[in-house]
């Protein structure tokens, strides 16, 4: 029997401020709500439904109805391989009638009470608000990275993470390399390279989608649809994508940088629909022990593409992409067997739902998720200002770039000039404090 539940509106819901729901056996239904029904949300919901547990999707929430409709259709596909790499279907695990599809900025408030596990996959600007609410309501959580876009958001997530620990809520963050066999095997053997003295991390590729402005859209709707290019929503690509690589270095180092300095700008991606973000960043992150991470991320077509991490120690090197460890002369000391690689996106959910079903408290990823998010924000602040930016000062700055009001007729925090272009940071000129 499920603990601490009440029957309301025909489905079981957890009372507000309850302790987490745990489950004693595979027969008990674990109810899931999806907040943010875009590409990743649809994938994450599918992965939750593909676990061995008795999982049901019971509520969906999104700022836009068309996104719910497309996610619902994809999840109900007769053959999931039409849009994912997975054969089969999960349609008998979807129980989301129209009255449990919620639309708008407040949709999350209506969906969260209806489930035991909440999937948070909106653009990251909303993550602190959504995470706080899910924790307040005593839910287990899968949330995507990054978990905020500004220092104030990071602080909110850190505070809610403490609360989640007290309530023993399992929280998995979609920094999936932590759930990937090759990274786990390399991590186990990291002492083979001695003390880590430097590291490199790359996320260099062509860039991502653009959703051009459409006639009739308010400024808020436009920015919400084209969210990648606005910092309050996305955090710039150093935060939105490169966080994965930066986080690996933090993980293997067992800590976070104390300061950063770097350079960046926008060279080719600088149209009106490219908002305010840079297309390249190069950052030196300094750790307390004097070691340095050289990090680069670039969204520029026809340049060298590379997404990877490399750690150099006093006795050897760890090449994450190749899955091997060498001595300083290049002799291979360990090679991960690529045949044993897993799909970490699925493993995240397999492990989370197995723990919940067994009544185990095993995952508390939010604090690291917040601190790796902060690391990437530190890099953005460094490239935007061209100054040395200190961790403590930035984290405690109270910097908050979110809108005052969340409504489609409200003004977002950044607006275009009369020429239709958005203000962009200028190193040496831009200052935050």
Closer to ligand NAD by Cβ: residue 328 or 410 = 410
CB of 403 to ligand NAD, least distance (A): 11
Question: How far apart are the C-alpha atoms of 35 and 65, rounded to whole Å?
Answer: 12
Does residue 121 bind ligand NAD (CB under 6 A)? yes
Indicate the pairing of strand 30-35 with strand 117-120.
parallel
Kindly state whether residue 137 participates in binding ligand NAD, applying the rule CB under 6 A.
no
Q: Which residue has the tokens 């290049």?
A: 330
Q: Does 174 bind ligand NAD (CB under 6 A)?
A: yes
Sign of the torsion formed by the C-alpha atoms of 339, 345, 350 and 356: positive
Structure tokens at 305: 């593409």
Question: CB of 340: closest distance to ligand NAD in angstroms?
Answer: 21
Q: Per rule CB under 6 A, is residue 38 in the interface with ligand NAD?
A: yes
Helices first, then strands: H and E counts in the chain: 12, 17
306-313 and 316-319 as β-strands: parallel, antiparallel, unpaired? antiparallel
Comparing CB distances to ligand NAD, the nearer of 240 and 276 is 240
Residue nearest to ligand NAD (CB): 38
Nearer to ligand NAD, 67 or 317 (CB): 67
Nearer to ligand NAD, 124 or 275 (CB): 124
- Interaction between residue 62 and ligand NAD (CB under 6 A): yes
Find the binding residues for ligand NAD in span 89-118 (CB under 6 A): 105, 107-108
Q: Among 12, 35, 114, 374, indicate the residue that binds ligand NAD (CB under 6 A).
A: 35
The answer to whether residues 313 and 197 touch, using CB atoms and an 8 Å cutoff, is yes
For residues 144 and 365, what is the distance between their CA atoms, to the nearest angstrom?
11
Q: Tokens 């291979």 sit at which residue?
A: 332
Among 114, 109, 35, 113, residue whose Cα is nearest residue 71: 35
Kindly identify the residues of this chain, within the stretch 214-243, that bind ligand NAD according to CB under 6 A: 224, 240
* 67: contact with ligand NAD by CB under 6 A: yes
CB of 12 or CB of 33, closer to ligand NAD: 33
* Category of 209 on φ-ψ map: left (φ > 0), alpha (ψ -120 to 50) or beta: beta
344 binds ligand NAD (CB under 6 A): no
């Amino acid at each position: 029997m499920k603990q601490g539940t009440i029957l309301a509106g025909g489905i079981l819901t957890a009372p507000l401020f309850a302790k987490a729901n745990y489950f004693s056996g595979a027969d008990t239904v674990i109810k899931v709500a999806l907040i943010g029904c875009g590409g990743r949300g649809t994938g994450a919901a599918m992965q939750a439904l593909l676990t061995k547990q008795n999982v049901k999707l019971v509520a969906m929430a999104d700022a836009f109805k068309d996104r719910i409709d497309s996610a619902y259709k994809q999840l109900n596909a007769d053959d999931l391989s039409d849009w994912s790499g997975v054969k089969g279907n999960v349609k008998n695990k979807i129980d989301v009638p129209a009255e449990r599809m919620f639309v708008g900025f407040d949709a999350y408030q209506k969906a969260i009470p209806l489930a035991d596990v909440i999937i948070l996959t909106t653009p990251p600007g909303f993550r602190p608000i959504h995470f706080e609410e899910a924790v307040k309501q005593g839910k287990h959580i899968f949330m995507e990275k990054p978990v905020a876009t500004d220092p104030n958001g990071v602080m909110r997530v850190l505070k809610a993470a403490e609360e989640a620990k007290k309530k023993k809520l399992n929280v998995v963050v979609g920094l999936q390399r932590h759930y990937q066999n090759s990274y786990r095997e390399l991590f186990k053997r990291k002492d083979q390279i001695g003390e880590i003295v430097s590291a490199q991390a790359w996320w260099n590729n062509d860039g991502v989608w653009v959703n051009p402005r459409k006639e009739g859209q308010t400024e808020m709707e436009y920015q919400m649809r084209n969210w990648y290019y606005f910092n309050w929503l996305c955090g710039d690509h150093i935060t939105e994508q490169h966080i994965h690589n930066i986080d690996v270095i933090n993980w293997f180092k067992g800590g976070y940088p104390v300061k950063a300095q770097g350079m960046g700008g926008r060279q080719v991606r600088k149209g009106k629909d490219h908002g305010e973000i840079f297309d390249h960043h190069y950052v030196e992150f300094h750790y307390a022990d004097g070691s340095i991470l050289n990090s680069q991320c670039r969204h520029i077509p026809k340049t060298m593409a590379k997404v990877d991490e490399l750690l150099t120690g006093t006795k050897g090197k760890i090449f994450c992409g190749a899955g091997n460890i060498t001595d300083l002369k290049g002799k291979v000391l360990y090679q991960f067997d690529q045949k044993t690689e897993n799909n970490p996106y699925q493993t995240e959910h397999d492990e989370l739902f197995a723990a919940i079903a067994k009544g185990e408290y095993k995952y508390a990823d939010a604090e690291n998720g917040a601190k790796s998010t902060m690391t990437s924000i530190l890099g953005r602040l460094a490239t935007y200002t061209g100054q040395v930016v200190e961790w403590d000062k930035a984290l405690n700055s109270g910097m908050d770039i979110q809108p005052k009001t969340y409504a489609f007729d409200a003004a977002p925090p950044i607006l275009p000039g009369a020429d239709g272009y958005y203000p962009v940071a200028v190193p040496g000129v831009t200052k935050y404090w």
